[in-house]
Amino acid sequence: MRREALPPHICTNINLFAWGEIMNNSKLRRRNKNLRELPLHIMLIPAVVLVGIYSYGSMAGIGIAFQRFVPTNGLFGSEWVGLQNFQTLFTMPTFWPIIRNTVFIALSKMILHVVVPVIFALLLNEVANIGFKRSIQTFVYLPHFLSWIILAGIFKDLLSPSSGAVALLMSPLGIQIPFFLGDKFWFPITMVLTDVWKGFGFGSVIYLAALTSIDPSLYESAMIDGAGRWKQTLHITLPGIQSTIILMTVLGMANILNGGFDQIYNMYSPVVLDTGDILDTFVFRLGIESAQFALSTAAGFFKSIVSLLFIIASYYLADRTAGYRIF
């Protein structure tokens, strides 16, 4: 029996009624969701207030970079001089060598902080004994949780050319070790290697997690085809974590002017300033030790602008190469 179609006005009323019910249900679900998440938003209020005070409120101090700042006159009573502080900063004979030192140390750290954790993750992934694997992981993670104040004292004792453990081990072999923390050539290399030693274990966590996402059947197929572990690594493992490697490399570009203040400040000396001084320690000496607040603020503002440009470029490249987007 053929069903007759409902009149158009009745169909319209039914559609409007159904649409209204959908909208009401949607509003009800949204209201319930907001009520459930309200305690979480309340919990965030102290953190938001602290970020607003210390991260955004302090940005008013950027104005010091454009003033002949006198602490007794304050921010609003000091004379405005425009870009004069930046001109003075850029013409200082030590400024551009400091930028060179910063870029060299930071770039070397950025590269090795990708290469070494990847190699370590690949090697650790081959360990079959779970207990031994976890023990190694725990052992290499520990330095990450030690401050540079502690590690600086340890390395000063270990690398001392007269009484250090390294010198005592090498002297019976007739090997004369250099003064790693007092030689202009070895100091930046020592900073890079010790920083990588401190952080490579913790940095490998991301790559170990990426390795778990690779389909095991790919390795089984490769073994059937006669591929050894080296071939499997080249053609399965590395391509499987390639996007993670690219992403971490690109995001590391934002730290191109972060040479590591804590590490270098606790380990450098006036002897190695020519190759070991970085922008952060330079700003600290200008502002805190020499009380040249306007010049130090200008140097810090210059670093912030350059870092911002690199952050924008790094997130753009991360989106283009690895599909990583924040928004």
pLDDT score recorded for residue 46: 92
pLDDT score recorded for residue 21: 56
Per-residue confidence in pLDDT tens, the chain, 327 aa: 445 554 554 455 445 455 555 555 666 677 777 778 788 888 989 999 998 888 888 888 888 888 888 888 888 888 888 888 899 889 999 889 999 999 999 999 989 998 999 999 888 888 878 888 888 888 888 888 889 999 988 888 888 887 778 878 877 777 777 888 888 898 999 999 999 999 888 888 888 888 888 888 888 888 888 888 888 888 888 888 888 888 888 878 777 888 888 899 988 888 888 888 898 899 998 888 888 888 888 998 998 888 888 888 887 877 777 666 665
Domain contains 327: no
Domain contains 289: yes
| Same domain as 286, residue 214 | yes
| Same domain as 148, residue 268 | yes
pLDDT score recorded for residue 1: 45
pLDDT score recorded for residue 315: 79
List the CATH number of the domain containing 272. 1.10.3720.10
Contact 205, 90 (CB under 8 A): no
Domain residues for the domain of 316 are 92-322
Domain contains 212: yes
| Same domain as 129, residue 73 | no
Question: Cα–Cα distances in Å, from 167 out to 143, 175, 176, 208?
Answer: 23, 8, 7, 36
* Secondary structure element (H or E) that encloses residue 142, with its range: none
| Same domain as 255, residue 145 | yes
Whole-angstrom distance, CA of residue 75 vs CA of residue 142: 44
Whole-angstrom distance, CA of residue 260 vs CA of residue 148: 10
| Same domain as 299, residue 259 | yes
Domain contains 87: no
| Same domain as 178, residue 287 | yes
| Same domain as 74, residue 105 | no
| Same domain as 158, residue 206 | yes
| Same domain as 227, residue 159 | yes
Say whether pTM exceeds 0.75. Answer: yes
| Same domain as 318, residue 196 | yes
| Same domain as 287, residue 195 | yes
**Residues in CB range of 181: below 8 A, 6 or more apart:** 155, 156, 159, 187, 190, 267, 268, 269, 272
pLDDT score recorded for residue 79: 85
Give the number of domains in the chain: 2
Contact 315, 326 (CB under 8 A): yes
pLDDT score recorded for residue 100: 92
Alpha-helical runs (H) found in the chain: 8-51, 74-77, 84-90, 95-125, 130-141, 148-158, 165-170, 186-211, 216-224, 229-232, 238-240, 242-251, 261-267, 273-276, 279-284, 293-322
